[in-house]
Structure 1
């Protein structure tokens, strides 16, 4: 285990890949099986982190530099870790998190600047926790972006960077899955949600 005695599962993927839906479906399946589950998200998951979420996900795409984003996301993650993730794991719960540090490795470390080393250094200093299992929902970038834009929410700052970012992020996430192969499970998201959910649950049972 990476922290506590519970199980820590994260979902990753490009915007619109369906990871939030799959995180919810997995939580529902595990609760139906009698498990205690905490379903959370990043940025966010604690009161302070949710305030930072509004800062980083809304507004003009160029509102923050990649360096500033890195600091904001790390601050949100630290608060989330202290107030939500670690207490739940210590109680033996399964924590399912919609995004975690791998998103920062991609969005700030790869796409918004050459900051991967800085991301990892700050992560080691201030977070020091990796999920036990990371499920990457892999999806066609154009289809995912179309789905993400159709949501029409106020939190579209990263979607507004366009298809180029989506394509770069997909390649980056797949490379990250190879780098951390023992932690990642890559699931084809270009299918009906029910079919994807079956594979997600199978991946968890294979690793847990």
Structure 2
């Protein structure tokens, strides 16, 4: 392995621009990740921290548009029209674009925090779930997206998560599908580096656990409030 190179004579070494700290919240459908990213972004903003909330709404808008196109041509959804891998690729491109745009927007702001609802790993887990065989392509697409500083997996029981998806009325999934999706996450090599939070706990307890994690990881003051015991370091498979 070679050591760091010296700048050419007459040229100054240029350090890489500071980038925002990134928190990625992940989990199966119904785990509560969208709720928790919204709560965390609001919490950080209330504490005077520049927080950029990267939602999943753009991806949802793209999927709805593609689903509409597919239904006009007699297909139930865009995946049945284009195939699972192509559908995941469209979603992944949308997410990658959002992540890179947010990072560029906050470039040079090391004091800012990017709070992401889902991350690249979610695409890999989805591809493993469907068996589409496109994971290598997705990883190549995400090659230049930095790993998050804190990766949080909200671990909800598949039965609980399925009930939540039914109650919200969209994105309804079966217990069996969510159990397989959870296993797909756990089988990824990156999962060992995730911090796992009990997603069956009440939302306010999960929120407290996320806030505590972020405060510890980024050396931020933790706002006063009830302490949570929902977080646990991973290593569980």
Normalized against structure 1, the TM-score is what?
Answer: 0.80
Alpha-carbon distance in 1 for matches of 2:18, 2:128? 28
Match of 1:74 in 2: 92
Query: Greater helix share, 1 or 2?
Result: 1
Aligned residues: 194
State how 1:1-208 maps to structure 2 within 5 Å: 4-42=18-56, 44=58, 51-55=61-65, 60=77, 62-92=80-110, 93-124=112-143, 127-153=144-170, 156=171, 159-160=172-173, 162-176=174-188, 179-182=190-193, 184-208=194-218
User: Which region of structure 1 is more displaced relative to structure 2, 167-176 or 11-20?
Assistant: 167-176
User: Which region of structure 1 is more displaced relative to structure 2, 104-113 or 24-33?
Assistant: 104-113
Alpha-carbon distance in 1 for matches of 2:89, 2:175? 25
RMSD in angstroms over aligned alpha carbons? 2.6
Alpha-carbon distance in 2 for matches of 1:130, 1:73? 19
Alpha-carbon distance in 2 for matches of 1:29, 1:57? 35
Give, in angstroms, the shift of residue 109 of structure 1: 3.7
- Name the SS for the 2:106 alignment partner: helix
Alpha-carbon distance in 2 for matches of 1:205, 1:9? 11
Give, in angstroms, the shift of residue 190 of structure 1: 0.7
Q: Which runs of 5+ in 2 are unaligned?
A: 1-16, 69-75, 219-237
Aligned residues of 1:110 and 1:116 also touching (Cα < 8 A): no
Alpha-carbon distance in 2 for matches of 1:152, 1:32? 31
Alpha-carbon distance in 1 for matches of 2:141, 2:39? 32
- Name the SS for the 2:195 alignment partner: strand
Give, in angstroms, the shift of residue 89 of structure 1: 4.5
Aligned residues of 1:109 and 1:117 also touching (Cα < 8 A): no
Greater RCO (Cα-Cα under 8 Å, separation 6 or more): 1
Larger CA Rg, structure 1 vs 2 = 2
Alpha-carbon distance in 2 for matches of 1:68, 1:87? 28
Alpha-carbon distance in 2 for matches of 1:55, 1:192? 34
